Chains A and B, each alone.
Chain A
Amino acid sequence: MTSRYIYLDYNATTPLRAEVRDLMVKALDIYSNASSMHELGRTAHAEIESARANVAALIGAKNPSNLYFTSGGSESNNTVFNTMFLIGRAGGRRKIITTSIEHPCVLNAAAHLRDEGFQVVFLNVDGRGRVDMDQYRRELGPDVLLVSVMAANNEIGTIEDIREIARLAKEAGAFVHTDATQAVGKIPVSVDDWAVDYCTLSCHKIYGPKGIGALYVRSKAPIEPLIRGGHQEEGVRAGTYNNLGIIGFGEAARLASLELSEYAAHTGALRNLLRDLIVERIPSVRINGDPDNLLPNTLNVSFPGAEGESILLSMDLEGIEVSTGSACASGSLDPSHVLMAIGLGPELAHGSIRFSLGKFTTEDEIRYVGEKLPPIIARLRKMSTVPFEEVAGTAR
């Protein structure tokens, strides 16, 4: 092993890639305020606009000026929901449709609108994590203000049919938002092809720095600032430009566009190898997610009879870094809302592990996991009060 750690938690965050890091080290000296009119200011401004163009290209936005830099995915999502709050508060449409498997920042932003008197629907998903389209069609109507559906799920990797969801929303006259945080850099994303009004993306999932993200806003779609102040970002997002983060984001986006197909082939092959090793060597496992619509890098597995936090820590002791849907690791008594939404039941959800691979994952690392994981599961199952053969068949 070249590294002490085998990092398989790329959906949580990614390491900074060397090219981005090198550029950021140089960018540390670009101190000027991009809003300043003098030459130094214009230099910073040019760097930022070049970064904006690269980020726009990554999500298929023809006009870079439709992109606004934010502090990350949570701010982008909250900016959209806050805008809907201000529009709906004035009267007219006041219904929001989202899903039960969104990231907590969308779930909580939607719940906040519900507390403020909006009608909010959290759509069901099927056993693979795909939106219940029949329920969606039933809920659509002239009262719907916003439809917000994630492009791909962070825990199970299921990709949603955003184009069709957006088409139906537009028919009903609603605005459409997609949180594409996990999709960007992993699968082709095209805001024009999808025809969404808003799209959220984050830099630290694509080997760039943390603390920087973006929100795409279609021309003429309404947008209100969450942070008020100066006239930066056309008044949509105040605050002195984060030169360092934006320049890093631009380079990470440029490279992600270039390497998209290579990335998918690399992580997809290794993910399939890991899946095959697990299925071959460990009895009674359940692979979660939609095999026909799946992020190439994500593998979510339930190990009945073994508790997730114990699996995670046992792997951690072997230098393998993953995440779990177990309640014990979250500080609450409830297991992952996503795994519950796909019908797993607590018996399977508590014993689930997410492996998320990345561009630096190697075949040696995957084979090492294939060696280390089976005895870990066998050991925990052996001491378990729960007979794994019985639990294995409990999912809907």
Chain B
Amino acid sequence: MDAFQWLYSDIVKDHFTNPRNVFDPDKDGGFKADAEGMVGNIKCGDQMMFMLKIEGDIIEDVRWKTYGCASAIASTSMLSETIKGMNIRDAYHIKPADIANKLGGLPENKIHCSVLGDKALRAAIDVYLEREGRAGEFKGEDAQIICKCLNISDKDIEEAVKQGARDWHSLQEATKIGTVCGSCKPKAEELLHEFVHIYS
């Protein structure tokens, strides 16, 4: 299996063996987060939680926990370092590919494992925004149009999955995606699969 072609960079190894900002129950018992976000499902083999301290839209401090593989641990560690001191809007729009690049790359079939940290971070920021009465403020800002006929973005697919869509049929019912030319189906199904993994 390709999964065994470990070509992890030294940076990945470093972050896997010495993860930064990981929640330590012995030291961080007093860590008071302003917002927490948890995504993933242990039934699928990975789960991620982000805890943020936010002051005037700046991420002052961060902790995270995971039940996950080496790629998930390393990429979340790198992500947590990257967002410290960052504006929540910029943090919200960090792409998993940017983190993978900072790690010196990840094996192709491990990219999906690294997405979880990014989703947990967004979930935490969403919680913060909602509490501030600013729900959905950053949504749609970096959306990528998937279905060109009906102008449906990856964010719309993500939202539909969050609302309960689990397969192509229910996704179509929720968004009408792919009901005109249908050429977006492979890409949309790939995203659907990924979001179902994260949110179910």
Query: Are A383 and B65 touching (Cβ within 8 A)?
Result: yes
Q: With contacts A309-B70, A385-B49 known, is A317 near B42, CB below 8 A?
A: no
Distance between A311 CB and nearest chain B CB, rounded to angstroms = 10
Most chain A C-beta atoms within 10 Å of own C-beta, residue among B4, B23, B42, B73: B42
Tell me, yes or no, whether B101 is within 8 Å of chain A by CB: no
Q: With contacts A307-B69, A383-B65 known, is A331 near B109, CB below 8 A?
A: yes
Which B residues lie within 8 Å of A386 (CB)? 42, 47, 67
Most chain B C-beta atoms within 10 Å of own C-beta, residue among A327, A329, A383, A384: A383
Query: Are A385 and B45 touching (Cβ within 8 A)?
Result: no
- For window 81-124 of B, CB contacts with A under 8 Å fall at 109, 113
Number of A-B contacts (CB under 8 A): 80
Tell me, yes or no, whether B16 is within 8 Å of chain A by CB: yes
- The secondary structure that dominates the B interface is mixed
Partner of B45, one of A307, A314, A384: A307
Query: Are B38 and A385 touching (Cβ within 8 A)?
Result: yes
- For window 292-329 of A, CB contacts with B under 8 Å fall at 305-307, 309-310, 313-314, 316-317, 326-329
Partner of A347, one of B42, B65, B69: B42
Which A residues lie within 8 Å of B157 (CB)? none
Which B residues lie within 8 Å of A316 (CB)? 6
Taken together as a complex, chains A and B put the C-alpha atoms of A385 and B120 apart, in Å, by 12
- For window 26-65 of B, CB contacts with A under 8 Å fall at 26, 38, 42-49, 65
Q: With contacts A382-B24, A383-B65, A384-B65 known, is A346 near B70, CB below 8 A?
A: no
Query: Are A350 and B45 touching (Cβ within 8 A)?
Result: yes
Tell me, yes or no, whether A108 is within 8 Å of chain B by CB: no
The number of chain A residues with a CB under 8 A from chain B is 26
Taken together as a complex, chains A and B put the C-alpha atoms of A79 and B4 apart, in Å, by 29
Partner of A385, one of B2, B26, B65, B69: B65
- For window 375-392 of A, CB contacts with B under 8 Å fall at 382-386, 391
Taken together as a complex, chains A and B put the C-alpha atoms of A327 and B3 apart, in Å, by 10
Residue of A whose beta carbon sits closest to that of B17: A317
Which B residues lie within 8 Å of A307 (CB)? 45-46, 67-69
Q: With contacts A330-B1, A382-B25, A383-B23 known, is A313 near B70, CB below 8 A?
A: yes
Taken together as a complex, chains A and B put the C-alpha atoms of A307 and B47 apart, in Å, by 10
Which A residues lie within 8 Å of B67 (CB)? 305-307, 384-386
Q: With contacts A313-B70, A347-B42 known, is A331 near B2, CB below 8 A?
A: yes
Which B residues form the contact surface with A (CB < 8 A)?
1-4, 6, 13, 16-17, 19, 22-26, 38, 42-49, 65-70, 73, 109, 113, 197
A–B Cβ pairs within 8 angstroms, 7 of them: A309-B69, A310-B73, A329-B1, A331-B2, A331-B3, A333-B44, A383-B73
Which A residues form the contact surface with B (CB < 8 A)?
305-307, 309-310, 313-314, 316-317, 326-331, 333, 335, 346-347, 350, 382-386, 391
